[in-house]
Chain A
């Protein structure tokens, strides 16, 4: 089953004071996210990631095009209770304690009164906030607020979690915990759509990704298709001798046919070989590639 389906989703914003002119933030987005997968929405700042998410949540309305979530049209009465959402750089009611805030959102999501406190405590514990449940939000750090935001997004056990930059503001350990949480959500049967511009995060957990550039879909497909092996090239990482010691680590990508001659040359120079691996096309390469280049990759990757 399809969890999210966008058909020609387009959004124009009107800018200017007197003579308003339309600026296209999202252009005819065609996208499908399958149920139970982790889907990464990638792109530079201003690429249209947050616009897409806001359209899906009806925080803004499309200029044209339609979308369906969990088989239901956007705005269907029973839909919102099945979705968990974390906005980018969240800010919450700072006069509340962390537990009170999560309980409030549980209440809005329709969690029965008798279960709210336990659910809020459970969600906060899952995001590593067990010790700070009774702390007022105004005294929380940015990372803690981000964790509370994640807790409110999962407190009602949603079928679909839409997370806008969920790792933003977190230290490396926190980011790893969020990645684990996302994997755990998938294990429990939920679908996760998250936006990020931190490519390593997407590479580690996404089943499929979409790359947006200037409001247009530049690529959509399984991560394997993006980061697939290029058997014809080899990546060598080594350190050369310099001034009696070892120099800086260097990385070289060479044709597979040149491998042995290059290794011989490095051995003659007494260089230390760190690794020899088949070259992988990384997500970053595609992310930075120009649209024409991506169009070539799209044929293989467009599997949604």
Chain B
């Protein structure tokens, strides 16, 4: 089977699995509820605050995405091995790397649909509460949503990498730890820069470049104040996410290609 065909088939099925999972709908309901709560809170505060509504909603979208990326991403491979569904799949003309890419694409598409739905909920909430602000800040909001998706794609690739060699629980712990550390990546680099005279300083700088820098994807503050987000940042973040996903998936593929499925 051609590579593109195999990847598309596996990704379609991964998406089908995700949308038929009731847990996902519960999460989506929870997230929409959070956006609703944000509307309520912003109305309860002194005046109607657009930035609190946007900040709260973007945080809810990120949280839902992280839960999906970490917990579904970590199960992408391990569950297939544990339940032995992978055996029949790999007995077909599907290369292991194509299976991984298909799973990755399926989960990223699931995240796109979920974030898209929540983004629509956010825009509707804004239209209801502060219609004048929507036109002014729609591009920065769209950019913020796009950056959340890029960060989630990177997180999914990392989750997939860990799921190739670690148990689901360990893989989830590793992925979540990287997400937390990655949000403070700039601080780690700053720490390293300030102590360059020590070996630890160089190590901190080196680690900060290897770890994913999730902080650069967070433009919630700028979006909530309707500040423009430049094309340069959009381009660089896109390139960074593509390279990081590519490297993580390449390592995952190299590990998985030679793995014994006992």
Contact = CB atoms under 8 A, between A and B. Distances in A.
Interface of A: 13, 54, 57-61, 77-78, 80-81, 83, 85-87, 89-93, 95-96, 104-105, 107-110, 149, 152-153, 162
B13 A93 contact: yes
B44 interface: no
B88 A87 contact: yes
A78 B93 CA distance: 8
Contact of B260 (A61, A89, A107): A61
Nearest to A80: B93
Contacts of A90: 84, 88
Interface in B9-48: 9-10, 13, 16-17, 20-21
Contacts of B132: none
B85 A92 contact: yes
Nearest to A14: B260
Contacts of B199: none
15 contacts: A57-B91, A59-B87, A59-B90, A60-B262, A78-B93, A80-B92, A81-B92, A83-B91, A90-B88, A93-B13, A95-B16, A95-B21, A108-B1, A108-B94, A109-B93
Contacts of A109: 1, 92-93
A54 B92 CA distance: 13
Contacts of B197: none
Contacts of B9: 104, 107-108
A80 B87 CA distance: 12
Which of B1, B89, B90, B92 has the most chain A CB within a 10 Å cutoff?
Answer: B92
Contacts of B93: 77-78, 80-81, 108-110
A236 B154 CA distance: 75
Given A13-B262, A80-B92, A108-B92, A87 B1 contact: no
A86 B92 CA distance: 11
Nearest to B18: A95
A93 B12 CA distance: 13
B222 interface: no
Contacts of B20: 95
B261 interface: yes
Interface string B85-115: 1011111111000000000000000000000
Contact of B85 (A61, A91, A153): A91
B6 A108 contact: yes
Interface of B: 1, 5-6, 9-10, 13, 16-17, 20-21, 83-85, 87-94, 258, 260-262
Given A107-B9, A108-B1, A108-B94, A92 B88 contact: yes
Contact of B91 (A77, A85, A95, A110): A85
Nearest to A92: B85
B172 to A, nearest CB: 21
B249 to A, nearest CB: 20
Given A81-B1, A93-B13, A109-B92, A87 B262 contact: no
Given A13-B262, A61-B260, A80 B17 contact: no
Contacts of A91: 83-85
Nearest to A89: B84
Contacts of B94: 80, 108
Contacts of B13: 93, 104
A85 B261 contact: no
Contact of A87 (B5, B16, B84): B84
A246 B87 CA distance: 54
A162 B90 CA distance: 14
Nearest to A11: B260
Contacts of A83: 91
Contacts of B17: 93, 95
Given A59-B90, A83-B91, A105-B92, A110 B85 contact: no
Contacts of B92: 80-81, 105, 108-109
Which of B17, B89, B258, B260 has the most chain A CB within a 10 Å cutoff?
Answer: B260
A105 B9 CA distance: 9
B164 to A, nearest CB: 15
Given A59-B90, A61-B258, 11 more contacts: A13-B262, A54-B87, A77-B93, A81-B93, A85-B88, A90-B84, A90-B88, A105-B92, A108-B1, A108-B94, A110-B93
Nearest to A95: B20
B11 to A, nearest CB: 12
Contacts of A107: 9
Nearest to A79: B93
A87 B91 CA distance: 10
Contacts of B1: 81, 108-110
Nearest to B87: A87
Contacts of A81: 1, 92-93
Contacts of B260: 13, 59-61
A162 B92 CA distance: 12
Contacts of B84: 87, 89-91
Contacts of A54: 87, 261
Contacts of A95: 16-17, 20-21
Contacts of B5: 110
